[in-house]
Chains A and B, each alone.
Chain A
């Protein structure tokens, strides 16, 4: 019943109510009729009984059977009466009787419930003369009831039919609009067409519902339109954003150049193209020289600014179809397609690379600071030096290292022999730890001489690696890799302890000599080195006054304040501090004032050209004057000739170190040299003293 249509439900409800009503009326009516018929029959029978009892009095009195029977027979007009019996007083046999003779109403003495007997005394003149019994049946009531029932049924059927017609019409009026609305909503749901409208225009609740429905549809339609607009707008925004992300994914944020991801994608296409055309492709790896130092000493903002400017310059130096990618840091890759690697073209390639270097190098003004930028480039050809990006880049990297090793600011094309060097580098890096454990490291000593007094003032302890396979290795070949690994600390500790022990030995057995030890910038991140020096001095019994520590400006890289504090601690131990490689970095002369430095060591690069390059000569003179002003000593490194020695003496630098005197040598060789030198060179009288005379 719940699944019935509204229409069916309504009709069923009307029909049910109608049926109940009619049933109640019908039952009441029939019941009333039954009672009425019953009482009517009874009163009729009684009347007839009375009448007959009166009329038959005479016949009874005269015992006139015939007459009595005749009279009783007149009862046949009443179909209800099926029998009558007249008894004289005190007689059990009837004086007269009448029984209805018919098929329907055959009298049976014992009636089956439908027959009843009603009796009355026959009274004549106040005397009871007999008794009259009437036997009657209520079958007529059943008959009448039956008739009534049939009639009622007919009325009921007709009424039901009429009500059904009425109900159908009524439901059509009521449910018609509802069904229409229902169909409309279903159509809307199926087609998603919100422009549909209900056309029911009534003033009743259905009409109201229909109007509300239409309003709702309109709202949905409006919202739909709005949403569609919003979606379009949002899609456009998203596409823009996606484009931006795509760009961002493939471009470097700082310089705007394509990035590594772009290169990975592009390289495959370029390789496919090169393979198709059977052409070559040149990959150049460019690395700025000393960028790390610039970044560390002048700040990251400065470094970033420099990268931007260099990127711009690089872009301008290339042809439009060449690709430049920033790999990260100060590394760039330049991809040149359709490069010819015939010998003629190799020149072209070199010219191209040199063009790039020319574009990059030169003074650049950043934040009011003039800076000189150079770069080193390594190049490798596809497919000769690598068929995939990793291999090709590795080859270029090796070539680039070669450029760095050959003085920077140059281009090198990959050669198979370079790979050996690179392999060596790896071997060295891996072998350092073993070297420390197995005493493969040696300490050598180079004398420092006061040229004015012709006196040995001390020596610098330097490290050498007696490599089991590659032979003797100079610090330049392994110290940079040791610094990458922090194993440098252990190397420095080793040198420190060995040198101190040696110095003490010399002090006891020969003469007191200043001994200087190099400390890597790596030590200046914590105070451990201070306690270590104290330990070593305690252990070797060397006086701190005989120990000198050589540092570089690079120690200020990480935390300048901390480094300064550590250095002050060392200085406070009574140890001499000298600033090594002065003039090579980008540090300002200001350091000389702030750092607790005693001696400034002029880099060998300046000394090398001191006689030929007036610019360098001027610079050295300036530094010496400045140091003197700050009451610092200056020591010249790399003095190789007497001319250099003489020149340095004239410009006021008396402390010297270099091959002119003695190359770094073992302790034993140093002792022999010292003996020999002392014998030959008695301390010269002070030149100034001579001048004063």
Chain B
């Protein structure tokens, strides 16, 4: 379910910086099911671009922003002292760096959006997505 969400999020987010033709989704998780599910979406078109799923290796400490457009992390993202500028950070709970955070409400998966941070990260989130969010932070 989360995989679909993540994929769908890509459709309602606009990056201010120029993106070539690939939206890179970086996964910072050990959840193999999720990885597998997302991997299934590899190469799927999003608007005029294609989706690319990439495994994020914390250890490499590489600059996320340099190649990731969406970063999913279920491992305390705030611990990621990364330069996350221009990156849509999706986490399982609202943390310091989170822009979209999943949470389960009455057994139903929903999400919260930190619109303020998204703005700060030069991301534009469609109002349609904002409408769907169970909570929006400004």
The answer to whether A and B come from one shared complex is: yes
Is A255 interfacial (CB-CB < 8 Å)? no
Check A126 against B47 for contact (C-beta < 8 Å). yes
For A61, the closest partner residue in chain B by CB is B8
Is B137 interfacial (CB-CB < 8 Å)? no
Check A57 against B128 for contact (C-beta < 8 Å). yes
Check B47 against A71 for contact (C-beta < 8 Å). no
C-alpha gap A57/B127 in the complex (Å): 11
Check A59 against B46 for contact (C-beta < 8 Å). no
Check A59 against B47 for contact (C-beta < 8 Å). no
Complex contacts, B5 vs chain A, CB 8 Å: 62
Complex contacts, B8 vs chain A, CB 8 Å: 58, 61-62, 124
Check A61 against B11 for contact (C-beta < 8 Å). yes
Check B11 against A71 for contact (C-beta < 8 Å). no
Check A58 against B47 for contact (C-beta < 8 Å). no
**Binary A-proximity of B1-29 (CB < 8 A = 1, otherwise 0):** 00001001001100000000000000000
Tally chain B residues at the interface, Cβ within 8 Å. 13
The secondary structure that dominates the B interface is helix
Check A59 against B11 for contact (C-beta < 8 Å). no
Complex contacts, A55 vs chain B, CB 8 Å: 128, 131
Check A58 against B46 for contact (C-beta < 8 Å). no
Complex contacts, A61 vs chain B, CB 8 Å: 8, 11
Is B126 interfacial (CB-CB < 8 Å)? yes
Check A124 against B11 for contact (C-beta < 8 Å). yes
For B109, the closest partner residue in chain A by CB is A62
Complex contacts, A199 vs chain B, CB 8 Å: none
Check B126 against A125 for contact (C-beta < 8 Å). no
The smallest C-beta distance from A62 to any residue of chain B, in angstroms, reads 5
Is B41 interfacial (CB-CB < 8 Å)? no
Is B129 interfacial (CB-CB < 8 Å)? yes
**Binary B-proximity of A35-75 (CB < 8 A = 1, otherwise 0):** 00000000000000000000101110110100100010000
Give residues of chain B (37-58) contacting chain A, Cβ–Cβ below 8 Å: 45-47
Give residues of chain B (71-129) contacting chain A, Cβ–Cβ below 8 Å: 110, 126, 128-129
Is B30 interfacial (CB-CB < 8 Å)? no
Check A125 against B46 for contact (C-beta < 8 Å). yes
Complex contacts, B45 vs chain A, CB 8 Å: 126
Complex contacts, A124 vs chain B, CB 8 Å: 8, 11
Task: Classify chain A's interface size.
Answer: 10 to 19
C-alpha gap A124/B47 in the complex (Å): 9
Check A64 against B47 for contact (C-beta < 8 Å). no
Q: Which of B11, B47, B110 has the most CB of A within 10 A?
A: B11
C-alpha gap A62/B12 in the complex (Å): 12
C-alpha gap A124/B128 in the complex (Å): 11
Check B47 against A125 for contact (C-beta < 8 Å). yes
The smallest C-beta distance from B7 to any residue of chain A, in angstroms, reads 9
Complex contacts, A62 vs chain B, CB 8 Å: 5, 8, 132
Check A125 against B11 for contact (C-beta < 8 Å). yes
C-alpha gap A57/B45 in the complex (Å): 17
Check B46 against A71 for contact (C-beta < 8 Å). no
C-alpha gap A124/B45 in the complex (Å): 12
The smallest C-beta distance from B46 to any residue of chain A, in angstroms, reads 6
C-alpha gap A461/B45 in the complex (Å): 188
C-alpha gap A61/B132 in the complex (Å): 10
A58-B126, A125-B47, A126-B47 known; A67 vs B131 contact (CB < 8 Å): yes
The smallest C-beta distance from A89 to any residue of chain B, in angstroms, reads 13
Q: Which of A57, A58, A125, A126 has the most CB of B within 10 A?
A: A58
Check B11 against A64 for contact (C-beta < 8 Å). no
C-alpha gap A67/B111 in the complex (Å): 13
C-alpha gap A28/B112 in the complex (Å): 58
C-alpha gap A566/B81 in the complex (Å): 197
**Binary B-proximity of A331-366 (CB < 8 A = 1, otherwise 0):** 000000000000000000000000000000000000
C-alpha gap A58/B12 in the complex (Å): 8
Complex contacts, B129 vs chain A, CB 8 Å: 58
C-alpha gap A55/B128 in the complex (Å): 6
For A70, the closest partner residue in chain B by CB is B131
C-alpha gap A61/B129 in the complex (Å): 10
Complex contacts, A59 vs chain B, CB 8 Å: 128, 131-132
C-alpha gap A67/B135 in the complex (Å): 12
C-alpha gap A71/B11 in the complex (Å): 20
The smallest C-beta distance from B67 to any residue of chain A, in angstroms, reads 23
The smallest C-beta distance from A34 to any residue of chain B, in angstroms, reads 37
C-alpha gap A59/B132 in the complex (Å): 6
C-alpha gap A64/B128 in the complex (Å): 12
Complex contacts, B46 vs chain A, CB 8 Å: 125
Complex contacts, A71 vs chain B, CB 8 Å: 131
For B47, the closest partner residue in chain A by CB is A125
The smallest C-beta distance from A65 to any residue of chain B, in angstroms, reads 9
C-alpha gap A125/B13 in the complex (Å): 12
The smallest C-beta distance from A692 to any residue of chain B, in angstroms, reads 206
28 contacts between A and B (CB under 8 A): A55-B128, A55-B131, A57-B128, A58-B12, A58-B126, A58-B128, A58-B129, A58-B131, A58-B132, A59-B128, A59-B131, A59-B132, A61-B8, A62-B5, A62-B8, A62-B132, A64-B110, A64-B132, A67-B131, A67-B132, A71-B131, A124-B8, A124-B11, A125-B11, A125-B46, A125-B47, A126-B45, A126-B47
Given contacts A124-B8, A125-B47, 9 further A-B contacts (CB under 8 A): A55-B128, A58-B132, A62-B132, A64-B132, A67-B131, A67-B132, A71-B131, A124-B11, A125-B11
**A residues with CB within 8 A of B:** 55, 57-59, 61-62, 64, 67, 71, 124-126
A-B pairs, 4 with minimum CB distance: A58-B128, A125-B11, A61-B8, A64-B132
